[in-house]
Chains A and B, each alone.
Chain A
Amino acid sequence: MLKVLALFHCVLLSVMLHAQDIDLLTKAKEESAKEDSSKTELVAATFKSTRLINGHSVETIKEGLLDFRISHRFGFVNQGLYDLFGLDNATERMGLDYGITNRLMVGIGRSTFQKQMDGFIKYRLMQQSTGKKAMPLSVTLLASAIVKTIKETDPTIKRTTSDKTSFAYQVLIARKFNEKTSLQIMPTLVHYNLVPLTGDPNDLFSMGIGGRQKISKRVSINAEYYWQFNKFDGYHNSFAIGVDIETGGHVFQLHFANSTGMTETTFIHETVGDWGKGDIHFGFNISRVFKIKKKKNIN
C-alpha cells in the first residue's frame, strides 16, 4: 500500500513538474487570447491611396504628412497615330494634401482643365474595426469647392467668382472584405451656382461605386463608376479602371478613364468622353508623401 502511494506520489509530482514546464507559454497564450477578444482593432489600409482613381477613397492622410500629387490625363486614345493615341495632349492637376489629424485632412489643387482651383476638406467619421466594438464599415465625409478661372470665350459675358464656383459633397462608405478586396459606394451631391441652361438643375445627384482587388502585396486593380441621377444634356457617366503600384513612399496609379477633369464636379457631371466611341484617356496619378511634422517621441 505504501509503495503504491509512493509511486502515485512520484507520478503526480513528475506530472506537476512537467505541467510547470509547458505552463508559462500556454498560460500567456491563453491570457492574450482572452485579452484580444475584449479589444477593438481598427481595420487599416482599405485602399492604398486617398484617391480611388479620380475620386476620393475613405482613406485620409495621417497626421503631419504632406502628400504632393500630380495627376495627368492624356488625350483621347481614339485620336489615332496623329496624336500618338492621345499622348500629344495632356491635362494635369497638381495638388497638395495635408493631414491635420489622423482623421482630418485638407487639400488644394490646380488643374489645367478649365484652369480650375480647387480645395477640399475630408473627415474620417467612422473606421471599420474588428473585436469587441466591431464596426462593419468605414465612413468618410468630403466637401470640395471648385472655381473655374478660365476666361470666357465671349468677352461681353461677365461672370463673378461665385458664378464660376461649384461644390461637391460626398459620403464615402467602404468595407474591406479581406486583405485583397475592398468596395466603396459614394452618394454624391453637386451644387452649381450657375448652370449651362435655364432649365438645368443646380443640384445634381449621383451614386458612385468603386473597389480594389489586390493582385500582389504592392499592386491592386481599381475601378470606379459614377451613375448620374440627373444630369446636364450631352454628358456621360464617368468610368475609370486602373492599377495602383506602391513603392515605399510613392503610390503610382495608372488608369484609363473617359473623364478629362479631375475634380469631383467635373469628372462626375462634365464627362464628355464616351467609352463606346473610344473616348478614353490614359492617365496617371503620382503621390509622394513627405513627413512635415515630427511625431512625439515614439519611445
Chain B
Amino acid sequence: MKKTLLILLLAVMCTTSQAQKIFQTKSGKVKFFSSAPLENIEAVNNQVDSKLATNGQLVFMLGIKGFRFENATMQEHFNENYMESTKYPKAVFGGTITNLAAINFDKDGTYNTSVTGELEIHGVKKKVSIDGTIEIKSGKVSVKSKFNIKLSDYNIKGSLIGEKIAKEVEVTVDCKYD
C-alpha cells in the first residue's frame, strides 16, 4: 500500500515538474527611447536575462550598465547621474501572465497577453501591469512588448528631465527564448 502511494506521489511529482516548462534566454533585447524637443535619446541592452515558465511566470533581469548609447558621454551620465548604476546595478521584473489559459505553448501562433508583477528600477519597486505579445513558432517562444515608464515613478531625477530628456521613456522588449 505504502509503495503504491509512494509511486503515485512520485508520478505526481514528475507530472508537475514536466508540466512546468521553462524557456530562457540571456541575450534578450530591451531598448529605451526618450523623445524630447532638443534631443532624442536611445539605448539598447542586448544582454537581458529572461525566463518564461509555462505556468505563467515571467522574469526579466538586466544590468543597467549594459545599456549602450551612441554617445559615450551620454552613457556615462546615464550611469553616473541618473541611474546611479553602481548603487542600483540591476533592473528586475518578476510577474505572471494573467491570461495563461488563452496561450497554448504547443501551438504556433501569436497571442496577446498581459502580465502583472513587480518592476524594480533604480531601487524602487512598483506594481505594474504590462501588455505584450507571446509568439510561438515551431516550439520557439518569443516575447514582445512596448510600454512607457514615468521616470519620477522610479525616483530618477535630474535637472535635464523635462527639457533634454522626456519625463516618460518608451521601453521596447524583444526576447527570443532558446
Contact = CB atoms under 8 A, between A and B. Distances in A.
A263 B58 CA distance: 57
B178 to A, nearest CB: 14
A16 B19 CA distance: 13
Contacts of A248: 77, 160, 164
A28 B49 contact: yes
A154 interface: no
A291 interface: yes
Contacts of A249: 73
Interface in A24-44: 24-25, 27-29, 31-32, 41, 44
A63 interface: yes
Interface string A1-22: 1100110010011001100110
A179 B87 contact: yes
Interface residues of B, number: 46
Majority secondary structure, A binding face: mixed
Interface string B1-18: 110010011001100100
A9 B5 contact: yes
A21 B55 CA distance: 9
Contact of A24 (B16, B53, B68, B79): B53
A6 B69 CA distance: 58
Nearest to A39: B63
B10 to A, nearest CB: 11
Given A24-B57, A179-B87, A5 B2 contact: yes
B94 A32 contact: no
B57 A13 contact: no
B47 to A, nearest CB: 10
Contacts of B46: 299
Given A5-B5, A13-B16, A248-B160, A32 B61 contact: yes
Nearest to A294: B70
Contacts of B146: none
Contact of B22 (A24, A41, A63, A179): A24
Interface string A169-185: 00000000001000000
B69 A24 contact: no
B59 A298 contact: no
13 contacts: A23-B57, A29-B92, A32-B49, A41-B65, A44-B76, A45-B79, A217-B80, A217-B158, A249-B73, A291-B70, A298-B42, A298-B69, A299-B46
Interface of B: 1-2, 5, 8-9, 12-13, 16, 20, 22, 29, 31, 42-44, 46, 49, 51, 53, 55, 57-59, 61, 65, 68-73, 76-77, 79-81, 84, 86-87, 90, 92, 94, 158-160, 164
Given A217-B80, A289-B73, 17 more contacts: A5-B2, A5-B5, A20-B53, A20-B55, A24-B51, A24-B53, A24-B57, A25-B57, A28-B59, A28-B94, A44-B79, A45-B76, A64-B72, A248-B164, A291-B71, A294-B70, A298-B69
Question: What 10 A-B pairs are tightest by C-beta distance, nearest first?
Answer: A62-B72, A25-B94, A24-B57, A28-B59, A298-B68, A217-B81, A24-B59, A295-B70, A298-B44, A5-B5
